[in-house]
Amino acid sequence: MEVELKEMLSDLQSLKQSLPDPSLHDSLDKIQSRVEHLADLAKAAPVRRSKVKDMSAEVVDSNPYSRLMALQRMGIVENYERIREFSVAIVGIGGVGSVAAEMLTRCGIGRLLLYDYDKVELANMNRLFFRPDQASMTKTDAAVQTLSDINPDVVLESYTLNITTVEGFDTFMSSLKDKSFCPVKQGSGVDLVLSCVDNYEARMAVNQACNELSQTWLESGVSEDAVSGHIQLLIPGETACFACAPPLVVASGVDERTLKREGVCAASLPTTMGVVAGLLVQNTLKFLLGFGQVSPYLGYNSLKDFFPTMQMKPNPQCSNGACLKRQEEYMLAKPARDAAAKAKMEAEAPSEEGPLHDDNEWNISVVDDCELGGPETKSSDALPEGLTRELPSADEFNNLSAPGAPVTDIDDLEDLRRQLEAINSA
């Protein structure tokens, strides 16, 4: 294109010289300047920036990290450059996940693992991030294309798979366990998993993987009607896992003949998704870089701009076996945790420097309430004196099947298989 424009310019020049009538020169000059402008535009082809070895705090226009490193000068983050050591896995590269991935990429995260099995569609264009020209690409490939342009320093891994299937889940697990990026770190190969999926099955699969790996994760979601959302921090054993509080299921008793036809297409807004992605990544940064407080649960109701927060303890009767195992480990580690907390308190507490006030006319003294109450180690489900439970406190369902454990199943699996085939072909 550049060559053609140059030829056009020289043609214009010769035309101008050969024209006898000077009154036409003005309009020719106009055309010439427009062609020059086009040539400039053509020259400004997309430039890819090269990789940056160390994050610099130098304030120059060409430094992609100056505004982020300024967080240190402002006293918010102690050591921002640590972000390059962190790996974050994002499951589901949709309206929330793709935006979260872009935010983390712009923040200069060390490594991103992206999981999705879907393709980009034009119906996704009401959300952020994906462009119409990426339609029909897999979401993971399209994301890698854009993200590596934005920040080539980030290591991107894309996994086009469905984590709820047996093979997909195996790959998911082994990719989370891979520690080659930062071998000195404890735990699994990633620092945090972000769940940005849109269905219950996939959330349960992420929950299963994280419970088994004792991997902290953040769950996010946007409601079907697009006007509310939430994020939730899940630390296996310490906070409720996703299976601890199963969704309230109400069998609505629908007649199949009255099944509505307009059920499946969920609404979505770029705004709600952007807000939820922002909340999700803000808490990710707080968690990774150790500033502020990470919300255990944060809701977002956009109709009233209401942001409820709450905390959820794990369910001792959780149906997920790995969750129960993590809960047990957490209980066993309690003495060590208490000791560490106490040591931290003492280190932070100001050293005693005599009485705070010179006189104490009324003899007011502060009494340690732990001493008075005696052993205050009642668990939360202990009942006040005089009350008893009418029903057993534990769900007896699991124990019911236990007595009949050695089910003398004489049938062979192959036999059953053949039986079904026989009926099928009959």
**Which residues are known to be catalytic?**
265
Strand partners, 309: 298
Binding span for another protein by CB under 8 A among 81-89, 148-156, 164-172, 304-312: 164-172
Note whether 419 binds another protein by CB under 8 A: yes
Estimate the crossing angle of helix 200-213 against helix 321-332, to 10 degrees. 40
Quick one: which of 184, 345, 372, 407 contacts another protein (CB under 8 A)?
407
Long-range contact set of residues 244-250: C-beta below 8 Å, sequence gap at least 24? 244/312, 244/314, 244/315, 244/318, 244/320, 244/323, 245/312, 245/315, 246/319, 247/200
β 228-234/297-301 pair status = antiparallel
Strand partners, 89: 113, 193
Note whether 246 binds another protein by CB under 8 A: yes
Q: How far is the CB of 371 from another protein (least distance, A)?
A: 47
Of 112-131, binders to another protein (CB under 8 A) are: 118
Note whether 372 binds another protein by CB under 8 A: no
Q: How far is the CB of 398 from another protein (least distance, A)?
A: 9
Main-chain phi, psi angles of 282, to 5 degrees: -60, -45
| One character per residue 305-344, x = contact with another protein (rule: CB under 8 A) | --------------xx------------------------
What is the C-alpha to C-alpha distance for residues 123 and 419, in angstroms, rounded to an integer? 46
Alpha-carbon separation of residue 294 from 61, 269, 283 (angstroms): 32, 25, 5
Q: How far is the CB of 277 from another protein (least distance, A)?
A: 22
Residue 400 CB partners (closer than 8 Å, separation 6+): none
**Are 240 and 315 in contact, with CB atoms under 8 Å apart?**
yes
Quick one: which of 21, 54, 256, 385 contacts another protein (CB under 8 A)?
256
Note whether 420 binds another protein by CB under 8 A: yes
**Are 72 and 79 in contact, with CB atoms under 8 Å apart?**
yes
Q: How far is the CB of 163 from another protein (least distance, A)?
A: 8
- With respect to another protein, which residue has the nearer C-beta, 350 or 404? 404
Of 72-111, binders to another protein (CB under 8 A) are: none
- With respect to another protein, which residue has the nearer C-beta, 36 or 421? 421
Note whether 413 binds another protein by CB under 8 A: yes
| One character per residue 175-194, x = contact with another protein (rule: CB under 8 A) | --------------------
**Are 137 and 111 in contact, with CB atoms under 8 Å apart?**
no
Binding span for another protein by CB under 8 A among 21-29, 34-42, 49-57, 249-257: 249-257
**Are 238 and 313 in contact, with CB atoms under 8 Å apart?**
no
Note whether 376 binds another protein by CB under 8 A: no
- With respect to another protein, which residue has the nearer C-beta, 22 or 404? 404
- With respect to another protein, which residue has the nearer C-beta, 180 or 424? 424
Q: How far is the CB of 206 from another protein (least distance, A)?
A: 10
Size of the site for another protein (CB under 8 A): 45
Q: How far is the CB of 420 from another protein (least distance, A)?
A: 5
Quick one: which of 9, 182, 204, 227 contacts another protein (CB under 8 A)?
204
Quick one: which of 1, 58, 59, 200 contacts another protein (CB under 8 A)?
200
Quick one: which of 359, 369, 381, 409 contacts another protein (CB under 8 A)?
409
Of 12-31, binders to another protein (CB under 8 A) are: none
Note whether 351 binds another protein by CB under 8 A: no
Quick one: which of 252, 351, 380, 388 contacts another protein (CB under 8 A)?
252
What is the C-alpha to C-alpha distance for residues 124 and 135, in angstroms, rounded to an integer? 9
Quick one: which of 263, 350, 374, 392 contacts another protein (CB under 8 A)?
263
- With respect to another protein, which residue has the nearer C-beta, 166 or 345? 166
Q: Within 10 A of 169 (CB to CB), how many other CB atoms are there?
A: 17
* Closest to 134 measured CA to CA, from 151, 149, 152, 113: 149
Q: Which two tokens stand for residue 57?
A: 């705090």
Contact footprint for another protein (CB under 8 A): 118, 164-166, 169, 200-201, 204-205, 207-208, 243, 246-247, 249-257, 259-265, 319-320, 401, 407, 409, 411, 413, 416-417, 419-421, 423-424, 426
